[in-house]
Structure 1
């Protein structure tokens, strides 16, 4: 199988420099509609909890009527992350205090302090995408078999994952992701922390902000639980179920963003990121988050213009335009490949007994996920 050599990689800045003049000025203007979208979805969650406060008065045969609302609330959890993600990449909110409040509200259901998100996502992930220094990458085979590595091995999509483990992981992986990064910086704050894929440091000021924001988020969640009177039925249907649905939707995108890609020492989004094709309804609901490679080229652009960026990429870089995969094909590839890096272009299992070349070629549209098993070698 052909693989992309480092000499063939192009830095993100080169794509941006070439394509920016071809985009309309409006694409780079602050999109304050994301604030409205964020607030609407906060309101939907509040409405769901308000209705849930009466669930103990419902007879059992009426309870299934709450499930569509729980699904809607789960989607709101997804949208809160994606709208906050867009807002924190842009200049839509210029006042620092207001920006912090809005981002705190938007990320609270994700248990993610906005200062930590700004660091782990904007600063670390976007600067070191799918390199050894990226905190969002797969673990390396050579890294110690810590609890963080074990959890990802047991619950992330791979050729070895158990279906039950995968189901549990879909609903909880985001929480584990937040927990391991949060504890890494608050408890240790050094590059020697080995239970995260790639540790990073924060300044004392950032560390204090992360801690204060976390306690604010904790207080908000406790307030929700108190409002629901710690009632098991209310909590199950209006708190844990929507959060589980939301986390599963988010982590589906996260898994397909980069986990199939090779490691890269040069930040080339067309080599280390994947965009997936989803039904238009999901692009509408989820702010075009499926256009993930386009986002990595222009992190601060209005997400409404991602489809135009994709068209430009496919026009001007036709030999690399295969970074776009149907969502089903990307998911099948995840389930047919191991999840640890043996080297830059090889995936391997926890034991290291089975290895497989990275299945993504320069033109990923040629990939047929069916015969992946034939590529395995022991």
Structure 2
């Protein structure tokens, strides 16, 4: 059976309808652990800055002892995003003001207003995953060669990427992604800007809320920098290094979510999403974010139950479910270009090399047997 034929595609709703009765009812109850994780990791960051406040009193020979704090703070930034991500997909907090305030705390270090996140992620990405309207997809080859496309080409894992720029991009790609989409909405909001992969619009009420939340976020960051006395060592160790570590950890997952998949105008998560295998410790630390196809089928489910969703997918759709080791996903990304030539092929920035998407939704094609032709 050829699952690349559209007659065999399903929508997210169809998968959810079939599998929901097979999951326990408690899987769909609000997960309050994400709220506590958010607050605990926010407290870890505050503790790290409190310690860093006195770094100017440390003998320079002992400053390396702060590096474990930098690492823990970087992981806290990852957890803040993933816990807020789960919170905004669920009904764990029903009061709108409290929900918005806690979400703002969780997304501040990501420079992401929660109203904007709900628009770009919950509404646009989840309903239009890897389609021509998805702001999170790869750029198209025919997309204008502007600064947004150029920077993404420079940073993202691909067959052409310079490993030095890939390393730089791991710590900065999140910021670029936020800047291009936020500026498109706040400055223009006409759905016509061509430097994001796909522009979108928000309502005037949402736009005002996004602007206000961004000013609050900016004020918090300025407050942190001011508290650290604009001291370069304090800033590097307790502000910039945790941000770079956190953003790199987030992008490690984000790059594998959809970038290897074909484009789909039908929102079929088994066609347009990938789940990866990572060490169990990382699943424990990062709220099972590696179970990404499962998340796209059940966005609001308690993430503790994603392994059960995965077992159901393997039982019912094992021949079309994209499940890879993280190392294999990265190997494939580093062997293929990152711009869509067609729905099922990648090409480089100049359009000289064309490669079939290694994960096209058909397991008649082995992921390692990409075919390459020179145009």
TM-score bucket (shorter structure) = over 0.9
1:347 aligned partner: 346
The TM-score with structure 2 as length reference comes to: 0.97
| d(CA) in 1 for partners of 2:132, 2:40 | 38
CA distance in 1, matches of 2:366, 2:289: 22
Counterpart for residue 127 of structure 2 = 127
Partner of 2:319: 319
- Cα distance in 1 between the residues matched to 2:152 and 2:7: 31
Say whether residues 1:145 and 2:145 are aligned partners.
yes
Aligned counterparts of 1:57 and 1:64: Cα–Cα separation in 2? 14
Partner of 1:31: 31
Contact 2:3 2:362 in 1 (8 A): no
CA–CA distance in 2 between the matches of 1:363 and 1:132?
Answer: 21
The CA deviation string for residues 288-344 of structure 1, in whole angstroms up to 9 with x for no partner, is 0000000000000000000000000111112213x0000000001111110100110
Deviations 1:151-197 (A, max 9, x none): 00011111101011101100000000010111000000012110001
Q: What are the residue-to-residue correspondences of 1:1-378 with 2, within 5 Å?
A: 4-321=4-321, 323-362=322-361, 367=366, 369=368, 372=370, 375-378=372-375
C-alpha offsets along residues 66-107 of structure 1, whole Å, 9 cap, x if unaligned?
A: 111100000000000000000000000000000000000000
Deviation at residue 7 of structure 1 after TM alignment: 2.7
Change in Cα spacing, 1:170 to 1:186, as seen in structure 2 (3 Å) is: same
Structure 2 residue ranges without an equivalent (≥5): none
Checking the alignment, whether the CA contact within 8 Å between 2:3 and 2:320 is kept in structure 1 is no
How far has the Cα of 1:363 moved from its partner?
A: 5.7
Give the TM-score normalised by the residue count of structure 1. 0.97
Q: Report if aligned partners of 1:325, 1:365 keep a CA contact under 8 Å in 2.
A: no
CA distance in 2, matches of 1:318, 1:160: 32
Distance 1:59 1:143 in 2: 53
Inter-partner Cα distance in structure 2 for 1:75 and 1:342: 36
Alpha-carbon separation, structure 1, partners of 2:220 and 2:210: 15
Offset of residue 367 of structure 1: 3.8
Contact 2:124/2:135 (<8 A) preserved:
yes
- Equivalent-residue separation in structure 2 for 1:364 and 1:245 (angstroms): 35
Question: Helix, strand or coil for the counterpart of 2:104?
Answer: helix
Cα distance in 2, alignment partners of residues 41 and 72 from structure 1: 9
**Helix, strand or coil at the partner of 1:347:** strand
1: CA distance, partners of 2:316 / 2:374: 36
- Output one character per residue of 1:214-249: Cα deviation in whole Å (capped at 9) or x when no partner: 000000000000100000000000000000000000
* CA-CA distance at 1:365 after TM superposition: 10
**Structure 2 counterpart SS, 1:34:** helix
Q: Name segments (4+ residues, structure 1) moved above 6 Å.
A: none
Q: Report the Cα distance in structure 1 between the residues aligned to 2:85 and 2:346, rounded to whole angstroms.
A: 29
Shift of 1:9: 1.5
Shift of 1:61: 1.6
Range that drifts further, 292-301 or 51-60: 51-60
Helix, strand or coil at the partner of 2:320: helix
